Structure 1
Amino acid sequence: MKTNNRVYLRKLLQERNERPEKMAEIDAEINATFRQTHAIMVIDMSGFSRTTVRYGIIHFLSMIHRMHAIVYPVIAEYGGTVVKEEADNIFAVFPDVKSAVDAASDSLKHTGAVNTTLPPEMDIYLCIGIGYGDVLMLEGEDMYGSEFNLASKLGEDLAQQGEILLTDSAFENFEGKKEDWKRVEFSISGLELVAYQRA
């Protein structure tokens, strides 16, 4: 039985490389098996390098563990699914942009509340990017797609501490108060990006 896992995707990609005459047929099979539409949320912890250098990796790993304990229930509460973790990043998908935005907002509120009870060296600060669109989804493993890449760029590289940034597509598909958001432009890695941040 076919499943949307990495092994099957690699098999199809290998066949695509070896049989260019079947490219359209193989692409159709990849799309039918893996393509899904989601709101994509990328959470990055602010200050990874600085904190690790100052307090050591064990201290930072304990902060990541605390962040997961705070954020995972919030993601689940808004119908989200964690696809993967990498270092201090969480990659999750939601059925719609509003759910992702609400989860992001609550994650910031919850970490902020916890920070009031902790010494400064244990404070957790998040940067969050949200995209919306089609991705190739490997269940429980990974995802690939332009909106995933853009959400990652926003969350990991461009969002400031405590900030949520939406891609252009996420903003277009956001069923919330759009007047609360303002358009911002970034130039990074040769890309001109349009995003939206809370006004």
Structure 2
Amino acid sequence: MHHMNKIHPNGYLQRLESLIEERLKPGADKEKIDARIWDIFGANWSILFTDLAGFSRYVAEFGIIHFLQNILESQKIFEPCIDAHDGVLFKVEGDSMLILFKRPRKAVECAISMQYAAKEYNKDKADEEKILLCAGIGYGKVLTIGSRDVFGQEVNAASKLGEDVARAWEILVTDSVAEEIGDMPCIKLEKIDKVPPGAKAAYKLIYEI
């Protein structure tokens, strides 16, 4: 059992740092080192990035404590959706969540489930207490550094779609997600003009809410 002490999250970061330092040396074979980094840390994941609409307005009108209440309430109603669809809540920053899934379909199903949960929660709530979810989804090879961070073009694209492009109730996906979910029942894909860096195209998910 004493060997377990050698396995800890910092080991991932230390390994990455050592490879980056090796990459910086004069004459380093960067292509070979990059391949090693991807081999150790790279994997295909679907990334769901969520955001709550109306942050600035609610903070200005009702104060930051009221909005913190909305954040905590949203996490309570969304966590069961994440668990039910085999998602991993990787990171929470303010009113945003970054959730990982092995399959894009699970990410899409989870996002729709979260929108349904928000709609049910909002039924008897005043406008200022309603939870309005925006979501962006990407899929592709990313670098995961233990439980500390995740990097990749599809991460950036999902973040951009969820935080900056999507409006309340919208679920936006990259082209790599669209290719994987085209035959899912009860949904349609509508191409949008705003394409985030790292994606070739982006789509709005048409679903019943």
Could you state the TM-score of these two structures normalised by the residue count of structure 1?
0.90
Paired position in structure 2 for 1:30: 37
Task: Confirm or deny that 1:115 pairs with 2:122.
Answer: yes
The alpha carbon displacement at 1:38 in A equals: 0.9
Matching residue's letter, 1:76: D
Paired position in structure 2 for 1:63: 70
CA gap of 1:179–1:48, structure 2 versus 1, over 3 A, is closer
Paired position in structure 1 for 2:89: 82
- Tell me the matched-pair count: 198
Task: Confirm or deny that 1:141 pairs with 2:141.
Answer: no
Residues 85-122 of structure 1 deviation map (CA, whole Å, 9 limit, x = unaligned): 11110001111111111100010010111111222211
Paired position in structure 1 for 2:193: 185
Residues 1-54 of structure 1 deviation map (CA, whole Å, 9 limit, x = unaligned): 686733332232122112542323321221111101011100011111111111
Report if aligned partners of 1:128, 1:155 keep a CA contact under 8 Å in 2.
yes
Report if aligned partners of 2:51, 2:133 keep a CA contact under 8 Å in 1.
yes
CA gap of 1:20–1:168, structure 2 versus 1, over 3 A, is farther
Paired position in structure 2 for 1:172: 179
Task: Confirm or deny that 1:48 pairs with 2:61.
Answer: no
Indicate the RMSD between aligned Cα atoms, in angstroms: 2.2
State the alpha-carbon separation in 2 of the partners of residues 52 and 10 from structure 1.
39
Report if aligned partners of 1:171, 1:178 keep a CA contact under 8 Å in 2.
no
Task: Confirm or deny that 1:104 pairs with 2:111.
Answer: yes
CA gap of 1:154–1:13, structure 2 versus 1, over 3 A, is same
* Higher CA-based Rg: 2
Matching residue's letter, 1:39: S
Paired position in structure 1 for 2:3: none
Report if aligned partners of 2:174, 2:199 keep a CA contact under 8 Å in 1.
no
Between 66-75 and 177-186, the greater mean CA deviation after superposition: 177-186
3-state DSSP of counterpart to 1:135: strand
Q: Structure 1 regions of 5+ residues with no counterpart?
A: none
Give 1 or 2: higher strand fraction. 1
State the alpha-carbon separation in 1 of the partners of residues 88 and 66 from structure 2.
27
Task: Confirm or deny that 1:163 pairs with 2:170.
Answer: yes
CA gap of 1:12–1:161, structure 2 versus 1, over 3 A, is same
State the alpha-carbon separation in 1 of the partners of residues 70 and 103 from structure 2.
29
Could you state the TM-score of these two structures normalised by the residue count of structure 2?
0.86
State the alpha-carbon separation in 2 of the partners of residues 143 and 133 from structure 1.
12
Task: Confirm or deny that 1:72 pairs with 2:72.
Answer: no
Residues 112-151 of structure 1 deviation map (CA, whole Å, 9 limit, x = unaligned): 1111122221111010000110000122221100011111
Q: Structure 2 regions of 5+ residues with no counterpart?
A: 1-5
CA gap of 1:71–1:192, structure 2 versus 1, over 3 A, is closer
Report if aligned partners of 2:44, 2:142 keep a CA contact under 8 Å in 1.
yes
